[in-house]
Amino acid sequence: MAGITLEKVKGLLAREEKRYVEERPKSKALFERARHCYAGGVPMSWMRIWPGGFPIFVREAKGAYLTDVDGHRYLDLCLGDTGALLGHAPPELVVPLSEQMNRGLTTMLPTEDSIEVGEELTRRFGLPCWQILMTASDANRMALKVAREFTCRRLTLAFNASYHGSVDETLVVDFFGNLMNMPGLMGPLVEDPSKMTRIVEFNDIAALEEALAPRDVACVITEPVMTNVGIIHPEPGFHEALRSLTRKYGTLLLIDETHSICGGPAGMTGELKLEPDIFVLGKLIGGGYPAAVLGFSQEIGEMIAQRVPWHNFFGFGGTLSGNPPAVAAIKATLKHLLTEKSFAHMIPLAQKMEQGIAAIIEQHELPWYVARIGCRVEFRFLPAPPRRGIDTLLDVEYNEVDLLTEGLTGPLEMLIHLYCTNRGILLSPVHDMALVSPVTTEEEVDRYVEIIGKCVEELLA
Ligand SMILES: Cc1ncc(COP(=O)(O)O)c(C=O)c1O
């Protein structure tokens, strides 16, 4: 690739790994200790996916910055992979949340705040009926159950290589023609995933119609713009076709806005004027406090309401869901953080970041591309943006990674992460993905672009 050899990548990676380890003795020691009491040395396995051999242990996360136990300060462009997109511990959230915490934590009863939240969710996202859960995975899982109940059908349709959380029905992939449980999956789930899930490629309207025509699919679950194996924008007409085909064949449409909320205050659902039957938004909706919202059409809401409440006990939500602090956090997020004003700051800066990375790619004639949704910017080691999920798996081949055994992160991606981390910038460990928060500044965006430029120069030297 334009002068970048795997040998060079591995050489620089070894240098950056050494520096990472040497400069973080306290994090390393804590990780060694944690291995005795946690599976894999972390309280949640997601914390293990960072390169470097051990994660940094965080002392404080405030605004656009994280400080670790070794005293390093990082500009955080990962922002909890969207959960903290609106900045770490913003005072607009922390003050009302703390006040609510002082008034009570969990009651299994509603607060007055929940009314304002429900009304604002309806105003903003269009659906008339809401439930509050703890995580986006939770909300998607519940949504698919509800969809099966409502339609009396069993199958879920998901787009290839999409990700919607730890949701069994969506952890299925069509891997170059073989329908299988996601490689490396904890499970495996079912012997024959085709009994649970139908997979088609994003942007393939003909395949979508063929998959829906038997009228046995309860629900299509999709992001408005795919994010999880790289940004894949819908082609013109795709969402219109998706909506009309799901209506034609009696299938519900679930829009999972959890990542694409980076597109605007009503996410890409608002930007693209989508009309889902079911809507999910987790991660940032509580401003970093655990919460997710699940919206339904009137008819589905009535079905849920008509169930004797005890029946909901059999597999919907949980006693902690909708707790008063979570509701207070959602209220503060909607009112003060997830606003036009925030996006008026974030989007121009993300555009500047995108242009800066594009200039590096162009200058060095790299076969890479950069893509953006709102305030989310990422670059990939492919010559052109993919239009289908399967296309995004190809840069893994370039990275010489065996997807089935090693996961998605290859040496070049790891190098870029560690290169940035060692110079005080955190990227999302899942891709070379950066998020711009309302408190990120232009100088910080420039700094990031400059560091990527230096890394590329070293790779080409
Ligand atoms: C689109 C999408 N939906 C749902 C989820 C699950 O979110 P959580 O892990 O917070 O449950 C994710 C996680 O990355 C996601 O990307």
Nearest to 275 by CA among 295, 248, 304: 295
Per-residue model confidence (pLDDT) at position 73: 98
Residues 135, 1: Cα–Cα separation, whole Å: 40
Task: Inform me whether the pLDDT recorded for 184 exceeds 80.
Answer: no
Task: Inform me whether the pLDDT recorded for 190 exceeds 50.
Answer: yes
Per-residue model confidence (pLDDT) at position 309: 72
Residues 103, 109: Cα–Cα separation, whole Å: 13
Tell me if 4 sits within 8 A of 459, measured CB to CB.
yes
Mean pLDDT, rounded, for 141-160: 97
Nearest to 256 by CA among 138, 417, 168: 138
Q: What is the CA radius of gyration of the chain?
A: 22
Task: Inform me whether the pLDDT recorded for 397 exceeds 80.
Answer: no
Residue recorded with tokens 């560690």:
418
- Extract the tokens encoding 454: 């230096």
> What residues contact residue 76 under an 8 Å CB cut-off, 6+ apart?
61, 64, 65, 66, 84, 88, 426
* In CATH, 6-86+344-460 is 3.90.1150.10: yes
The C-alpha angle 341, 329, 85, rounded to 5 degrees, equals 50
Task: Inform me whether the pLDDT recorded for 365 exceeds 70.
Answer: yes
Residues 338, 285: Cα–Cα separation, whole Å: 8
Pocket test for ligand 1, best of 163, 261, 378 (most atoms within 8 A of CB): 163
* Contacts of the segment 440-445: beta carbons below 8 A, 24+ positions apart: 440/64, 440/75, 440/77, 440/346, 440/349, 441/64, 441/349, 442/349, 442/352, 444/64, 444/75, 445/349, 445/350, 445/352, 445/353, 445/356
> What residues contact residue 204 under an 8 Å CB cut-off, 6+ apart?
388
CATH topology for the 91-337 domain: Aspartate Aminotransferase; domain 2 (3.40.640)
- Which tens digit of pLDDT belongs to each residue from 435-453? 999 999 999 999 999 999 9
Task: Inform me whether the pLDDT recorded for 108 exceeds 70.
Answer: yes
What's the gap in Å between 153 CA and the centre of ligand 1? 24
Give the distance between the most distant pair of CA atoms in the chain.
69
Task: Inform me whether the pLDDT recorded for 290 exceeds 90.
Answer: yes
The phi and psi torsions of 375 (rounded to 5 degrees) equal -105, 25
Per-residue model confidence (pLDDT) at position 402: 42
Per-residue model confidence (pLDDT) at position 204: 97
Per-residue model confidence (pLDDT) at position 437: 98
Is the shortest distance between the CB of 413 and ligand 1 below 6 Å? no
Is the shortest distance between the CB of 256 and ligand 1 below 6 Å? yes
What's the gap in Å between 318 CA and the centre of ligand 1? 18
What's the gap in Å between 112 CA and the centre of ligand 1? 28
Pocket test for ligand 1, best of 47, 170, 231, 283 (most atoms within 8 A of CB): 283
Tally DSSP H helices, then E strands, for the chain. Answer: 17, 16
Per-residue model confidence (pLDDT) at position 98: 98
Is the shortest distance between the CB of 137 and ligand 1 below 6 Å? yes
Other beta carbons within 10 Å of 352: 16
Residue 137 CB-half CA count within 13 A: 7
The phi and psi torsions of 109 (rounded to 5 degrees) equal -140, 150
3-state SS of the chain: helix, strand, coil percent to 5?
45, 15, 35
What's the gap in Å between 230 CA and the centre of ligand 1? 14
What's the gap in Å between 228 CA and the centre of ligand 1? 9
Domain residue spans in the chain? 6-86+344-460, 91-337
Residue recorded with tokens 């730890």:
166
Tell me if 296 sits within 8 A of 277, measured CB to CB.
yes
Per-residue model confidence (pLDDT) at position 407: 42
Is the shortest distance between the CB of 258 and ligand 1 below 6 Å? yes
Q: Percentage of the chain with pLDDT > 90?
A: 79
Is the shortest distance between the CB of 27 and ligand 1 below 6 Å? no
Task: Inform me whether the pLDDT recorded for 394 exceeds 70.
Answer: no
